[in-house]
């Protein structure tokens, strides 16, 4: 909010007309997280609560944030202190901040799990498709492979030929996919940061940026290895007679 109202200026000491009353800005905090973890940060103001504000509380009540030492029974102590101030005040919905954070990020974790499952399914589907394409390519090149074997090419040479051509396609596709992923990460920076916090990961983790393409290429090569091995068993005589 400080950047929107006083861009490039020091807001401390400025006066802010808020709900018909003038308030002096005494400090600026960092951007706060919205209620939804994937939503954008919105302008916010912390205002002091005067005794008149407690005289007629809102229908939602008053939220009290208490910071305690580890091991202290905050629930019992809070209820006791509130009753000492006013016995008619009812304390409701006492929860730890950790529980609130876990509740907010629950849907983000569910979404990350669903997208992860879809990613694994897409990876398997892509591997099966690549294996099929390789098998089709080997079948189309049976005559060529037979000629190579007849001219003295070893089985290892034939296997390397098929896998090498497949590896070039995987490398080009992986490079293009990695570039697209980096560009998408910059566009979806705030959403990825929220998901990274929810899943306790990092969107810029080298293990993810490098490991994911490496895993895809490795599985693709493994999927293409089976049809590539069939090319090693092609009979040159039968291949030369086929069209």
Q: Does the structure show a pLDDT above 80 at 1?
A: yes
* pLDDT tens digit sequence for 42-93: 888 888 776 666 666 666 677 788 888 887 887 788 888 888 887 877 788 7
Q: Which residue has the tokens 């493994």?
A: 222
Same domain (yes/no): 162, 84: no
Specify the pLDDT at position 239: 59
Same domain (yes/no): 35, 71: no
Q: How far apart are CA 75 and CA 101, in angstroms?
A: 18
Residue 100, domain member (yes or no): no
Considering 52-61, 158-167, 231-240, the range whose residues carry the highest mean pLDDT is 158-167
Same domain (yes/no): 87, 186: no
Residue 20, domain member (yes or no): yes
Same domain (yes/no): 116, 43: no
22 DSSP β-pair partners: 17
Task: Tell me what percent of the residues of the chain surpass a pLDDT of 90.
Answer: 4
Residue 64, domain member (yes or no): yes
Q: Does the structure show a pLDDT above 60 at 100?
A: yes
Q: Spell out the residues 6+ positions from residue 188 whose beta carbon is closer than 8 angstroms to its own.
A: none
49 compared with 122, residue with greater pLDDT: 122
Same domain (yes/no): 111, 230: yes
Residue 208, domain member (yes or no): yes
CB atoms within 10 A of CB 199: 16
- Domain span holding position 75: 54-95
Q: Does the structure show a pLDDT above 80 at 193?
A: no
**Torsion angle of alpha carbons 176, 181, 186, 190, nearest 10°?**
170
Q: Does the structure show a pLDDT above 90 at 20?
A: no
Q: Spell out the residues 6+ positions from residue 190 whose beta carbon is closer than 8 angstroms to its own.
A: 38, 40, 41
Helix (H, G, I), strand (E, B) or coil at 203: coil
Q: Comparing 8-12, 85-89, 184-188, 216-220, which segment has the lowest mean pLDDT?
A: 184-188
Residue 17, domain member (yes or no): yes
The C-alpha angle 46, 48, 54, rounded to 5 degrees, equals 120
Domain total in the chain: 3
Q: How far is CA 201 from CA 15, 102, 112, 198, 208, in A?
A: 41, 15, 11, 8, 9
Same domain (yes/no): 21, 68: no
Quickly state the pLDDT bin for 134 (edges 50, 70, 90).
confident
Same domain (yes/no): 174, 232: yes
């Amino acid at each position: 909010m400080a950047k929107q109202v006083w861009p490039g200026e020091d807001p401390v000491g400025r006066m802010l007309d808020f709900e018909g009353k003038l308030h002096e800005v005494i400090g600026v905090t960092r951007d706060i997280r919205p209620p939804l973890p994937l939503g954008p940060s919105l302008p916010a103001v912390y205002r002091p609560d005067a005794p008149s504000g407690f005289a007629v509380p809102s229908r939602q009540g008053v939220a009290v944030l208490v910071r305690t030492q580890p091991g202290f029974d905050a629930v019992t102590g809070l209820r006791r202190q509130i009753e000492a101030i006013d016995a008619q005040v009812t304390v409701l919905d006492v929860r730890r901040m950790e529980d609130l954070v876990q509740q907010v990020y629950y849907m983000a974790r569910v979404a990350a799990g669903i997208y992860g499952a879809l990613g694994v399914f897409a990876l398997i589907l892509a591997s099966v498709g690549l294996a099929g394409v390789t098998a089709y390519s080997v079948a189309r090149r049976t005559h060529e492979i037979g000629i190579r074997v007849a001219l003295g090419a070893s089985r290892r040479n034939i296997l390397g030929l098929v896998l090498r051509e497949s590896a070039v396609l995987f490398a080009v596709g992986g490079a293009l996919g990695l570039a697209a992923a980096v560009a998408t990460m910059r566009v979806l920076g705030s959403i990825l940061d929220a998901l990274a916090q929810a899943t306790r990961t990092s969107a810029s983790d080298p293990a993810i940026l490098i490991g994911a393409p490496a895993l895809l290429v490795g599985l693709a090569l493994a999927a293409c290895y089976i049809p590539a091995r069939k090319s090693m068993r092609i009979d040159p005589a039968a291949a030369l007679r086929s069209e």
